[in-house]
Amino acid sequence: MQQLIRITTVPIKYEVHSEPARLEMDVSHKSTAPATYSMQQRNARINLRAQNIQMRMDSYEMRKSLGLKNIRDLAADNAEKGRQQIQKLTQEYVQTGKQLARIDQGVDIGQIVQQKALEQPTYYTAFLPNGGIEISWVPAQLDKQYQEGVLDLDWQSKKNIFTYVPGSFSIEITQYPSVNIEYLGTPAYVPPSADPNYEPPAEE
């Protein structure tokens, strides 16, 4: 039996294009410049402050025994001498008054005056100067102050510039699918005389 129909299929054809994601770095001069830094330095220091030994000599007590007194002590001594002198005179006046009160008992005024005139002042022996020199001293001192050194670094780090390129995926169809149906037989004409190649049957 002759096959009258032939069916053929055409498959689809396509192309796949894909690019992975990538990270690109800018390689221009500015971005690839090396890191730099600035440095500031302060050296260590030590400060020394020395004070020599000090000796103090106070000779005031010695000078005071020689009568070389300051104003305060001189005023105090004069006040004390005045008080003692007044006290002595008061005692003498009181004693003289008591003696004069006994005139009725045979006391002679001339004898009293003579006795006062013959009285001698009291003397005493003193070695001058009788005061020493007071000596004091302050020990030597050495003050030390240490300041540490400082080193400051200011870094300017390298800056890299990166650009992210996302991945891509695409499909390109180069041939669409199709189904081809091909008729292999000859056409059937109705009536048969419609066939251009129709030949009438031969007469007997």
Mean pLDDT, consecutive 10-residue stretches, the chain (204 aa), reads 79 90 74 70 86 82 75 80 82 72 63 63 62 79 85 76 87 90 78 78 68
∠ at Cα 57 (54, 58), nearest 5°?
Answer: 135
Supply the pLDDT for residue 15. 92
- Kindly report the pTM of this predicted structure: 0.29
Structure token pair of residue 154 = 């200011």
Bond from prior residue into 139 cis (ω within 30 degrees of 0) = no
Supply the pLDDT for residue 112. 64
Q: Which residues contact 189 (CB under 8 A, 6 or more apart)?
A: 195, 198
Supply the pLDDT for residue 54. 85
Supply the pLDDT for residue 121. 61
What is the helix (H) or strand (E) element at residue 144, kind and residue range? strand 141-147
3-class SS of residue 99: helix
